[in-house]
Amino acid sequence: MRKERGLTQVGLARKVGTQQALVSAYETDRLRLSAEMAIRFALALDELLSPRRHGRPDPKPARRLLRRMELIERLPRCRQAALLSTIDAFLRGAKQAS
């Protein structure tokens, strides 16, 4: 999605507040996302999908979402992967439906 929208790894790293090398490591599955980083990436990529929001301040994630992400981060890696796969499939379905 990043490439489709013309965003470089450097550009995404700036939006997320990290370094390009980490973006590359996440994209190639050399590093696993923490809950906090997953939220940062989700917000940055959501901005790419919702251009109508440009010019407005970035929304802060809801506390309820942050609490859930912290709980997910405490799960064993295999359960995190299963849950994130489910979430990804749901989001792909929602995107296709819209």
Task: Kindly tell me the number of DSSP H helices and DSSP E strands found in the chain.
Answer: 5, 0
Domain boundaries, the chain: 9-97
Which tens digits make up the pLDDT trace of 9-35? 998 888 888 999 999 998 898 988 888
Helix, strand, coil percentages, rounded to 5, for the chain: 70, 0, 30
Tokens of 31: 């590093």
Q: Average of pLDDT values for 54-64?
A: 63
Looking at per-residue pLDDT, the higher value among 68 and 52 belongs to 68
Share above pLDDT 90 across residues of the chain, in percent, rounded to a whole number: 10
Give the pLDDT score at 56.
55
Q: What is the pTM of this model?
A: 0.49
